[in-house]
Structure 1
């Protein structure tokens, strides 16, 4: 039986500073891990869905650590390959001062950047309900881009919904340049069924901050569902020929770690779609997932179970709910 959601991309080992201040003064680190696609896969697994993550990791202890941890979170890692030609990527999280987090990546030439179309298991993609992709993978290397377009082709040929989160990383655009990266992102988005950018990302891609205008541009290329995240304020949703509106974000008193919130949100939207909820209901559920993620440290530690999401929503609003139109 195939997975509900198949995804692929780079996951790295995270070394999080144990004390605040510039990294030069930090002596201790907590070892965690994170990667946009595996974060979404873990989020879906915690919400009760079958998820599968493909990738390449280094043939090293960090690679073994990633496979062990992600498998332990309930994700199928059977199609992750160990690669002897390059190391597993790393990144460091620095806490300069309260509210000022910085991230330094050491991923250039990592094992995941050698992922290619031959590393895809097309049978798993063809039998899934959703293929989830991010723009990070598209910027890692030419072979990763080719793998993305091949995966989309397989998904489309088999009636699998294609989900795309641009998840822009300007530091990865060096090879393509900003205009080249923009064109690649727009090309991928035009082939997707569901596109979930942040408002700033959508404005960079399409030159306007008008959410309905962005949605219509995507609908013209064949996209069916659009969700645009606007930070901690609200999320806009629209369906081709259907409803549109704004879902207010949940208020959080203390943000512990905002990194990973977008991946939790994406997992919530995909969970709602798998359960055949309306897009409005899926985004409302996703807003709760994202709020819970930012209340905990690390990329995946705050990803909630279904019961935790339900209890959080009930605590915040009872059964009232609401959409800003």
Structure 2
């Protein structure tokens, strides 16, 4: 993705009135992530300033690690990614990512996974999440997707979320037939955030995320086409029968 000369890659903290956004307008939630942080040396600084300003006013901050080696390579590689993300993590309330993200960006290892992710070790994920929560006591929730790659078009899909010392697992979507995998992680994140904002129930939230991510991967493009009603139907066990 060519974002090198976009305005947002060159934006500085002075381009935003954070006191107005978070203080006067009272924005409740700021979501950002590793793709923005990796845009440029400048964006590394700007994202940190935004997060610190949000925390100053009590705004909830969520962050999707979204590690992209090809983007970080231009500004210092994995070493730079860890340096930036470890600093950002100190101010995050809800941390989101997959297994590669937590390893590459924060240095946490998941025990027992095979390199092709054809079989996941759930206990390894739980151990890693508990370790992350211990390392960063500011985390209120930590969530990760669980994807077992059977083929390019068939994956097993689920997710887990740690909150208040407990780990909640979403419903399993076995043999999910994927039309377009791009956007599954973002749709998981947005579903999770919606659930946390509206219900404050981590178990329900992780199920919103997993269902929304599953639906997004069965439609083209990286922007969801799913409605809330459709997400909740899938959460409730609806099948593929046509809705007339």
TM-score, normalization: structure 2?
0.79
Bigger radius of gyration, 1 or 2?
Answer: 1
| Deviations 1:18-58 (CA, angstroms, capped at 9, x unpaired) | xxxxxxxxxxxxxxxxxxxxxxxxxxxxxxxxxxxxxxxxx
| Deviations 1:184-205 (CA, angstroms, capped at 9, x unpaired) | 1122122201101102221333
Q: Counterpart of 1:186?
A: 86
Aligned-partner Cα distance in 2 for 1:163–1:227 = 11
Match of 2:21 among 117, 124, 135: 124
Q: Does 1:313 align with 2:227?
A: no
Aligned residues between the structures: 211
| Deviations 1:117-150 (CA, angstroms, capped at 9, x unpaired) | 1222412234111110110111111221221111
Aligned-partner Cα distance in 2 for 1:249–1:190 = 31
Pick closer, same or farther for the CA change 1:234–1:308 going to 2, 3 Å: closer
C-alpha contact 1:289 1:304 (8 A) present in aligned 2: yes
Aligned-partner Cα distance in 1 for 2:60–2:86 = 18
CA RMSD for the aligned pairs?
Answer: 1.9
Q: Counterpart of 1:23?
A: none
Q: Counterpart of 2:2?
A: 106
Q: Counterpart of 2:209?
A: 286
Higher RCO (Cα < 8 Å, 6 or more apart): 1
Question: Gapped runs of 5+ residues in structure 1?
Answer: 1-104, 318-325
C-alpha contact 1:289 1:303 (8 A) present in aligned 2: no
- Which structure 2 residues correspond to residues 149-160 of structure 1 after superposition, within 5 A? 149-160=48-59
- Which structure 2 residues correspond to residues 1-325 of structure 1 after superposition, within 5 A? 105-122=1-18, 123-126=20-23, 127-174=26-73, 175-204=75-104, 205-209=106-110, 210-219=124-133, 220-221=135-136, 222-231=138-147, 232-240=156-164, 242-251=165-174, 253-300=176-223, 302-316=224-238
| Deviations 1:212-269 (CA, angstroms, capped at 9, x unpaired) | 33323332322121111122432121124x3213223324653110101111111101
C-alpha contact 1:117 1:143 (8 A) present in aligned 2: no
Aligned-partner Cα distance in 2 for 1:208–1:253 = 27
Secondary structure of 2:235's counterpart equals helix
C-alpha contact 1:234 1:249 (8 A) present in aligned 2: yes
Shift of 1:207: 3.6
Higher strand share: 1
TM-score, normalization: structure 1?
0.60
Pick closer, same or farther for the CA change 1:256–1:192 going to 2, 3 Å: same
